[in-house]
Structure 1
Amino acid sequence: MKTIKYLACFFLFGTVVAISSCTKEDDYKEITKDGEIYYPGRVDSVAAQGGNKRIRLRIHLGNDPLVTKVKAFWNNSADSVEMNVTKTTGKDVVDMLVNNLAQGTYYFEVYTYTSDRAKSIVKKVTGMVYGDNYLKALTNRTIKALSYAQDGSKVLIDWNEALDGEKSIELKYTDEAGATQTMIVPGGAMKTEVTGYRSDTKLTYRSIYLPEPHAIDEFSIGYTEVVLPLFERQLDKSKFAAYVLPTDATEEWGWELKFLWNENYNPYGFATATAIPQWFTFDMGTSASISRFKIWQANDRLYKGGNLKKFEVWGSNNPGADGSWTNWTKLVDCESRKPSGLPGNEYNDQDEGYVRAGEPFTMPAGSPKVRFIRIKTLETWGGGDGITVGEITFWTSDR
């Protein structure tokens, strides 16, 4: 009885195998009725390189000489782009641009095809497209400090930290001839030097961003503008010297002319006893166009005595040896003031702070270069004869 059951089971198993074998063979015959299955060589590799509302697929083809077309699908195969290719004997590279994409991450499936529409196995790649939202997050680098080299030959820029992806900074400035120059600052640089610039002009710059190392588009926003302050340097007082001419007022009471530039802001300074108007002369040691200067009053008699109230500043490069006004040019008319406006010799803390810091005076733009300075006093705060001056300092924009 058992033998009959085993025989029946064996017969049934054999029948199933035979049927299955026949089915597979029939299916294979159906698939290959026009010949063997052929899959074109799929692409070796695909790199997705993001851009501005677009992406580039850099496709490295294999060696299959029968490949005639490449096609990429995305958006669950709802969208696609294709391009014909002509194979050479080597491994060719195909750049496929996909345009008009919204910002976001994209998943691509790439296939190769033959002329008779045989299709390869898929090669997948993921890439990022950048757009308006990315641009909104960008800012130009900010400047931490803007200064000059001591001799004015360079503008020195100290930058704050850069945002991720900054490739460079495009920097524009006006040169001494009035032409616009452009320099490229490497991304991440913390210091920049600009030479050959024109004072009192605008510096414009913008950061250039590359959102990924092999992105196909650069990104930037509008330019940031910075007005370069007028360059100034203090004239070297070590070069100053007395230059007494026959008509000059003479120093008195041990307050000598040389004390006028010794950087000592306490008495002594320079003093005379000559009747007003009077003048004195000194040599700056070099010819310069003065942009501004400061005068410190003798600080033991603020807003009184012989401290200067109204005076003129004259300049020359070749003063007459006779002490006359030949070859002298008036540079500026000056009047000392009190910020408070208090009458007479009265003054408050604001006035005192103002003159103890050195009272500032500005020269007219384009003042000529001069080496010798003559200061002519017309009125003092005390109204009498003689003058007292604590210290004087000059600045120039000459480089």
Structure 2
Amino acid sequence: MNKHIIKHILTAACTTMLFSACKEEMLRGPIEKSKGAPGEISQVQIENRNGFANIIYQLPDNPDLAYVKAVYEVGRGTKREIKASYYTNRMTLDGFGDTLAHQVQLYAVNRGEEASKPVTITVQPLVSPITLTYRSMKVVATFGGINIQTTNQFRYPLVIMPLYDSTGKGAYSTLDNIYTEDSLINRNIRGLDTVATKFAISIRDRFLNHTDTMYATLKPIYEQQLDRLTYSAVHLANDAKFVYSTNQEMMWDGRGASQWPSAFTDESAGGPVSITMNLGKATILSRFKIFPYMEIGSNYYIRGNVRLFEVYGSNNPSPDGNWSSWTKLRDCEVIKPSGQPYGTETTGDQELATAGWEFDFPAGLPPYKYLRFKLLRTWQGHYGFSISQLKLWGASM
């Protein structure tokens, strides 16, 4: 090839590379040329909150201002940076897991990315939400596992992390984490051996702050799921009537939960109604789950799905339905974890419903052959109720 042609090609290539490098460098730099560092923010007010702090401030008088930046540490060596547009004069500093004093440097930054001199303030957050949740946490043995109860008053996103000593020698293994924003937390961890085991439970947030660890040695109570094929419907004189071509046996026919048709009683009932079932044999009951029917819009906490009810046991029920032959085993209320109003449900609400509304029987009950449910209130407030599926656990005699 002609030397002159080669020379021109190389020159053009170098020029293109140089132009591209310059263009890339220009794009990486500030969009606008700096007009001088802005003044400092002033009149800073601090509102210390649980796990965070709000600050309100006066912006400098500078038409070139772009944003305000806060730089601080939430833990030893863990830095956090928050930015707020010049359209606002407030900022939330979050990520704190303690109640210590934290220094914060505040900068006003212009469109040329030139920062003002820092203004140093000190924030001291109140007790973090995960610590408050940890302080109210209770862990007890339950049927087939352990039960964790606590309150999360700020509905703060958190993770409860349970461990258990799998060898008996201090070698801890993980159990399923509980991810939740619920205000009322009541979760069971099942499928554990019925031997005394040491458990360790702690809580963390999305900033990787951790609480202390709670240790407890607990012995899960033996149980197994009862055989639905031994169940049969009992129709006492004052029990509910089923409508829409449904019947009581649909509650344990093994179909997928939440499907239609589901057992549905007469909605025109003027007061509490009851249904009765024969378990087939005397059984020490441990717990049960009610799977609600899914209404239009994937809603569960509406219409005829149960909300308030009572459970009774008997070994010799009176044919006329007289309640004197029955012993109340427990009161039950379905709690919507989010606390949202009727017709509004969160993902957490719906996940709990699809997993089944679960209730434990008190420990130490004698065996019963017959169960009776008295329905006091549905989510809509009437007495006609729907149950998609019913599952029971315990130990048959």
TM class, shorter-length = 0.3 to 0.5
Q: TM-score, normalised by structure 2?
A: 0.44
Q: TM-score, normalised by structure 1?
A: 0.43
